[in-house]
Amino acid sequence: MGSTPLGIKDTFKELDSSADGLTGQEALSRLERYGKNELEEKEKTTALKVFAGQFVNLIVWVLMAAAVISLMIDEVIDFWVIMFTIAVVIVLGFVQEYRAEKAMEALKSIVQPETTVMRDKKLRKIATGDVVPGDVLVLETGDKIPADALLFETVALKIDESALTGESVPVRKVEEESIFAGTQLVHGKCRAVVTETGMSTKIGQIASLIQTKEEDTPLQVKITKLSLTLAFLAILASAITFAIGISIGAPFADMLLISLALAVAAVPEGLPLTLTITLAYGMKKMAGHNAIIRKMLAVETLGSTTVICTDKTGTLTKNEMTVEKIFTGGNVLEFTGAGYVPKGDLLKRGDHVDLKDEPTTIKLLKGIALCNNSAIEKKQDKWEVVGDPTEIALTVAAAKADLWKDELGKDYEMVEEIVFTSERKLMSTIHSTSEGMVSFTKGAPEFVLPQCSMIEKNGELHPITEQDREKILEKNLDFASSAYRVLAVASKEGPKDKMDGDFETDMTFLGLVAMIDPPREEVKGAIEMCRKAGIQVIMITGDNQETAKAIGRSIGLFEGKSGCGVYEDEKLRRIAEDCAVTGDELEELNDEEFDIIVENINVYARTMPEQKLRIVDALQKKGHIVAMTGDGVNDAPALKKADIGIAMGIKGTDVAKESSVMILQDDNFATIVEAVRGGRTIYNNIEKFITYLISRNFTLIILIMAGISLLGFDLIPLLALQILFINMFNEIMPAISLGLDPATEGIMKRPPRDPNDNFLKKRNLFLVITLAFIMGIASFLVFAWSDPAGDTIMARTLTFATVVSMILFIPLAFRSLERSVISIGIFSNKLMIAGVTATFFATMSVMYIPKLNEAFGLLPLSPIEWIMPIGVAFGTFLFAEGLKYATRSVRQADDGK
């Protein structure tokens, strides 16, 4: 980077800052003065808004109509009980919805963006909200600009300002130009001093224009449509019941009250609320496992994922690069020590190396320290690092030889940087020294070596020969096949007046640096789980093919594969060998050829980020649901194209995160697999509570229609208040407990779900219709068996007890739509047990508390009288369990087993 422009000095003076940034104490003082660097939210959810929203509810208005009718026919007790019911509905809805909103807010707060700044003359990562005027921003490609600022150092800088201007073409920026909050670096790097934060920024001044309303996801739309359809059917059934009652001479007002109560009980008002709670808490649970779901759509799609395309470094591996070997002057030197602690020795054939005798090694180590943008610093007893893991490993290796970047910078003043790009696969820095100019270049050996015309051995320069090149490439292959990541280092130097500006040609080769990033211990098990779940795992990396295959073998990526397909075409046979393809080989294939082999490839090596888009497209054409990881700016198109775009939370750029639907806080592949499990669990739970709610909703309609049709209005099985009580206590609580049900065993041993599946597919629809009919008829038979003509109140009490008892058993059967509840554990869902217990005591209160039982038209039952209701309810539970067993073949047909 260049020196600070003269014009910036006035800005620094005005802001009482400098190129070294602020002190921690001054930054804290300014944070108190200026406030958080955040935009104010115009539409924030408040408790009052949630409470008011409870009145925009069809059920509340139907209940109010029922209350008015009760008052009109002088049923004062009914009126007050219905009003109490309305209050309970509103309070329960408010509590659950407000808790769901708070859960979503907590989820959003988990993703805390960070920004690199200069604090106390050191690079620091701080929360973006803590950026203050006078802070010096240190930004690189992919970073989102956190505040308005003035540039004073730039390297090949281009900014995407489309968020402000709508212009899609990146804008080149130079020193003393302004950059703005909300825009993004798409190329190069810079340093800039913050001039405005929060609502004072340019984007803050137009904040009202960027406040967007969150739209419903396809899953929510699907649930809403289902709710409306069921509501229509429920109201239609209630209307038919009303018509039947009127036709047989039932009092108009009484029949209207019964029909309204029946509509309340049958309309599935709990569906949208239960969905919101299930998604909110399911996403919160995923966040606890380091998977942040940015869009609810991802939850639905996760369960259908058939392919996971994953980066290698930091995702399949630990992302703790350590330089272990150096090849220079024909010799291999080895570093001891691991991780980011700069402690270790440099050995040659087991003996300690005296660097005084290794001038080329010293030059190489200086090169990897200077051609570098990372920083390490010891704080108390801990080493803190900032930068790319590969560059940190290089900085640590140089520090082990007591070559520190800050100290070297005094003799090697950096005047220019040629940034790394995925096309060139090189990075260079140019330095001014007392003897002239020198540049250092690092990059992929196959890109560095062709640009070298000289080689340095033991401090002496020699023209590089073909034999030298062969030996270097052979050693590169040797390192790569042992899972090492390899970088080549070269230099170029000369007098200041003779350096022609082309620093990346005619270079001098210094050596190879071999570093390793060991696989994460949990990855092999996660890949095996994917295999059992019918999910293919594909590694995409910029590393050498041999390195990638070595890592792939160590984590079991190729296990269970007998080969990579049989192809008549010789080119396809060559390219698909070992199930691994390089970026260059991918370029050789046309779309038709690539379509033939795409499903058989497990590793893509030396790929360009842009090639990810082609891989995703080819897999999707084959009908796959693709999850794709990414961290860079160039990954954004593939992340958007993928069904599940997954950004890295640690090393991911802001551009990648904005383009994704999921963020991995720990950059760990196993977290993706855990998220898939979570997605499958959430969808299964949604399927369970929908099936339960619909079967329950139509049970009472069948019961009442059968009673009125066969016995007349005077012998109606349940009264309006009894129907309303049942609806209050046997819909929301059991549905929510099903929505929050723990994952069932074997959920990751099933094939991925068909994304075109409906909630009410054949098996589920059969369960709904059959169970609703059986429960309705069973309840009616209890009423008919109990001599309703002789003692109507007792018959209704027994019927009421039967329907409520079903609540104690039937939700347990819905905990799995195919397995026995015994096999999954009756007590494994504590929320359901709590709900069943609450329902039991609520029922006891309206049956055994004097005056209250009179209001509800119920009698206290003796223990013996409970035998029939509980026996019938338990019988329907056993029937439901048997029905699940009988329909497994239908389930298997649905799942394509």
Amino acid making up residue 851: K
Could you give the C-alpha distances from 566 to 302, 699, 701, 837, in angstroms and in order? 32, 57, 60, 61
Give the DSSP H or E segment for 845. Answer: helix 830-848
Nearest-angstrom CA–CA distance, 207 and 181: 11
Q: How far apart are the first and last CA of the chain?
A: 61
CB atoms within 10 A of CB 867: 11
The 10 Å Cβ neighbour count of residue 498 is 8
Alpha-helical regions (H) of 194-352: 202-205, 207-210, 218-247, 252-266, 270-288, 297-302
* Cα distances (Å, whole numbers) of residue 381 to 340, 377, 384, 396: 13, 10, 10, 16
436: left (phi over 0), alpha (psi -120 to 50) or beta: left
Do residues 666 and 295 lie in contact, with contact meaning Cβ atoms separated by under 8 Å?
no
DSSP 866: G
Q: Are 159 and 145 in contact (CB under 8 A)?
A: yes
> What residue type is assigned to position 702 of the chain?
I
Residue 365: which residues within 8 A CB-CB, separation 6 or more?
A: 397, 398, 401, 403
Q: How far apart are CA 687 and CA 691, in angstroms?
A: 6
Cβ pair 153, 169 in contact under 8 A: no
Q: How far apart are CA 277 and CA 689, in angstroms?
A: 12
Rounded CA separation 845/860 (Å): 10
Catalytic residue (choose from 130, 135, 160, 311): 311
CB 178 within 8 A of CB 5: no
User: SS3 for 152?
Assistant: strand
Q: Write out the two tokens for 229.
A: 């359809």
Query: Does 311 participate in catalysis according to the annotation?
Result: yes
3-state secondary structure 315-353: CCECCCCEEEEEEECCEEEEECCCCCCCCCCEEECCEEC
Centre a 10 Å sphere on the Cβ of residue 376 and count the other Cβ atoms it contains. Answer: 19
* 87 vs 54: CA distance, rounded Å: 10
Q: Which two tokens stand for residue 873?
A: 């309810």
> How far, CA to CA in Å, does 817 sit from each of 460, 681, 687, 855?
76, 13, 9, 38
Nearest CA among 808, 807, 806, 801 for reference residue 857: 801
Contact between residue 153 and residue 190 where contact means Cβ atoms under 8 Å apart: yes
- With b for 16 or more beta-carbon neighbours within 10 A and e for fewer, the 767-794 pattern comes to bbebbbebbbebbbebbbebebeeebeb
- DSSP H or E stretch at residue 839: helix 830-848
On whether the CB atoms of residues 276 and 682 are closer than 8 A, the answer is: no
Residues labelled as active-site residues = 311
